[in-house]
Structure 1
Amino acid sequence: MAAHEGSEEAPTVSKNRRFRKDKRWKVDKFTEADNKGGTFLEESSFATLFPKYREKYLREAWSAVTKALDAHHIACTLDLIHGSMSVRTTRKTYDPYVILKARDMIKLLARGVAVGQAVKILDDGVACDIIKIGSLVRNKERFAKRRQRIVGPDGSTLKAIELLTQCYVLVQGSTVSVMGPYKSLKEVRRIVLDCMRNIHPIYRIKELMIKRELAKDPKLANESWDRFLPKFRRRHLKTSEKTARKNERLEAKNAERAAAGLEPITTTKPEKVYTPFPPAQLPRKIDLQLESGEYFLKPTEKKRREERERKQKQTETTAKRRAERAEAFVAPVESVAPTVEEKRKRKHGESETEGGKAGKKKKKRVRLEEGGAS
């Protein structure tokens, strides 16, 4: 009986799982006790330049930077003459990897990241990536438009990327600074580079949202998710397909116009008259010069003529601009208020006309009465 009770208390462990460790182990923070080698043999240092507009902010926030790096025994200097920041190890530094974290921190500060956010890079689980996008698009207008796509209207696209990837993203000039877990940095880099290659970030955001939902289902943990993910392909339409779509849109518009009682839109092109002969050849520049006589002029005469034309054009434009400027100073036509005498005369005239009309009416009445009496 006692043996039976003991067997119930001690659960049987499988032989296969006896020496197996749990994969979800906790990574302890690197402490001074973990550094068995003692102080470093050589000093390591990194420096980075920063733009002029960041100088004021860095000067104000440098005490916070020094305080954060002092906790890890890293020395830092701010050189305002050469416009650079530098970090270096000291005799007290025990973590060999923290100097690389400090290097990333000053890089982020130079790229416009705030001190409160840049300090988080010193944590073990946070990494950074500075994506250079300046050389991916040559046209400046196109580059600005595609860079704005990453931010989105009122920063909505950037916020969606940050929420889905758990990263901090800052678009600044010709670079995109990203801070977050290692796995998420790859996703953000892919989104940014695809956006600069004219693939809208919304497609990648949709993919991430679907993956997020699929990760919740334990049944699909060991299956491929390709069948669930949307496939966006570039497909160039044929001319016939384009024409068909255009006609469909026109029909829909005409149906709406007919319902509103308006005339339909017609796209009848004017008929071209066919002529077997080619069009007449346009005159060359030399031919036009020969006709006007400019071809036979001497170089000095040509120069004089060009200067005369240029001066004439300048005088015309200046006269036009002066006239446009003078329009602003022309006083508008104002109605002058009548004087007291004018008001009296007007009143007197009105009263006279009224009196004359009343006298005429009385005379007519008298005549009518006389005629009736007779």
Structure 2
Amino acid sequence: MSAEASSSGISKKSKKSKSKAVEAVVEGETQEVEKNKRHRKDKPWDTDDIDHWSIPTFTAPNTDEHRPFLEESSFALLFPKYREPYLRSIWSSITSELDKQGLACELDLVQGQMTVKTTRKTWDPYVVLKGRDLLKLLARGVNAPQAIKILQDGIACDVIKIGGLVRNKERFVKRRQRLVGPNGSTLKAIELLTECYVLVQGNTVSAMGTYKGLKEVRRIIIDCMNNVHPIYRIKELMIRRELAKDPKLQGESWDRFLPQFQKKHLSTSEKTAKKNAVLDRQSVIDSTINPNSIPVTSTSTSTTSATAAPPAVVKRTPFPTASKKKAYTPFPPAQQPSKLDLQLASGEYFLKPREKEAMEKRKKAEKQNETSIKRREEREEAFIAPAEKREESVEERRKKRKRATAEELM
């Protein structure tokens, strides 16, 4: 027992000593150091003037130091037929821009595809992905001068597919038009606030800019396809831009300044209650107004009373009358005759197929004749001359005057 107790006591002491902070001797004084900071050492090269968030520029190495890649990387993308004339006209400029980055490209008009691949001069392993994005933007309708900017380090792209987000085609076209807005005003506001280039083309939306801006653009577009108007997100971005200018709000939450847009669907009972409240309020207003009352005006002189304007008549809105309830009957309504019953009653069911076809043709011809006659009459109405009124002669006017004078004397 004593041995076990002694061993357990040693183990407990060792655990306590590990959990405690380690003591370090600094200039003859004991100082407690935390366990996770025991092996930290001073870094004299890490000074405060160094910006750890800056991205160093990646330049091409010297020809003596450059070594080609072991494998060739390539990407091939298809393009629509209507982009072929434009791509043929600008392909020389695309080739020269990619050659500066050490990339090669091909335009295959037979198969309708574009290819970008690395060469022995390529020094940046990531630039082939930039070349792939360049071809993707060209295929989606972006102009060449704008698409070439994707080769820069601080610019990225995002092709958002919106074709499958809305099932109804008419609804999809209407919501896609919301992104553009009247005369492109909504699209211009999105570009100014997010600092991105946005192009709405067919079933996709192409965007170019910073990663932060692309995130906002994707959020606006997806919300618009889900029936949230872009003006709500635009207003929120405008408020965020103004709040970022205030240095006092850098470390605070901006939730109290941002608008809260809640989309609420009322149930049938809530809609009925809301409608009844409006009707009750209208009935109270109508009960306080007497339509037969005449406002009293001062009639000091006869001229004022004669020239006074008539009193304004207050129009009373008719109170909606409750619909009459139908008398309750425990018996169900009579069953309507089916199509087969109607054919049996008319004898059409027993006709042969040839006879049925002949009868349908005869009905169709009769209907066509009626329609043609009706249209012919409508066209001929324009050619019917109106009734002409003949002027009365002198004798007719004299007789008419004599007849009128004789009636007055009688």
Same fold (TM over 0.5): yes
- The Cα shift of 1:47 comes to 1.4
Q: Give the Cα separation in 1 of the matches to 2:254 and 2:44.
A: 31
TM-score scaled by structure 2?
A: 0.68
* d(CA) in 2 for partners of 1:160, 1:249: 42
Matched, 1:288 2:342: yes
| 2:87 alignment counterpart | 58
Q: Quick check: 1:117 aligned with 2:146?
A: yes
Q: Tell whether 2:327 aligns with 1:274.
A: yes
The aligned counterpart of 1:339 is none
Which runs of 5 or more structure 2 residues have no equivalent in the other structure? 1-42, 292-311, 388-392, 399-410
Deviations 1:155-200 (A, max 9, x none): 1111111111000000100000000001111111111111111111
Which of 76, 84, 95 is the aligned partner of 1:47? 76
The CA deviation string for residues 48-68 of structure 1, in whole angstroms up to 9 with x for no partner, is: 111111111112222222232
State the Cα deviation string for residues 31-80 of structure 1 (Å, max 9, x = none): 11289552222222111111111111112222222232222232222222
Does 2:242 align with 1:213?
Answer: yes
Match of residue 50 from structure 2: 22
Instruction: Tell me by how many angstroms 1:250 deviates.
Output: 7.0
Matched with 1:31 is 59
State the 1:269 CA deviation.
4.7
> 2:82, 2:152 → 1: CA distance?
28
Shift of 1:103: 0.8
What letter matches 1:76 in structure 2? C
Q: Name the stretch that deviates more: 196-205 or 312-321.
A: 312-321
TM-score under structure 1 length normalisation: 0.74
Provide the residue aligned with 1:243 in structure 2: 275
- Report SS of the residue matched to 1:32: coil
**Structure 1 residue 133 displacement after superposition:** 0.8
Q: Which amino acid aligns with 2:72?
A: E
Percent identity for Structure 1 against Structure 2: 59
Match of 1:143 among 144, 168, 172: 172
Return the match for 2:207 from 172, 175, 178. 178
Distance change in 2, residues 1:80/1:333 (3 Å): farther
Cα deviation for residue 321 of structure 1 reads 5.5
Matching residue's letter, 1:268? T
Name the one with the larger helix percent: 1
CA distance in 1, matches of 2:347, 2:198: 67
Aligned pairs (5 A) from 1:91-240: 91-237=120-266, 238-240=270-272
Which amino acid letter does the alignment assign opposite residue 300 of structure 1? R
Aligned length: 324
SS in 1 for 2:61: helix
Please report how far the alpha carbon of residue 153 of structure 1 lies from its aligned counterpart in structure 2 after TM superposition. Answer: 1.8
Over 3 Å counting, the alpha-carbon distance change for 1:102 and 1:332 in structure 2 is farther
Structure 1 residues 262 and 219, CA gap change in structure 2 (3 angstroms): same
How far 1:309 sits from its partner (Å)?
A: 2.2
**Which runs of no fewer than 5 residues in structure 1 stay unpaired?**
1-14, 336-349, 358-374
Aligned counterparts of 2:250 and 2:134: Cα–Cα separation in 1: 36
CA–CA separation in structure 1 for the residues paired with 2:320 and 2:370: 43
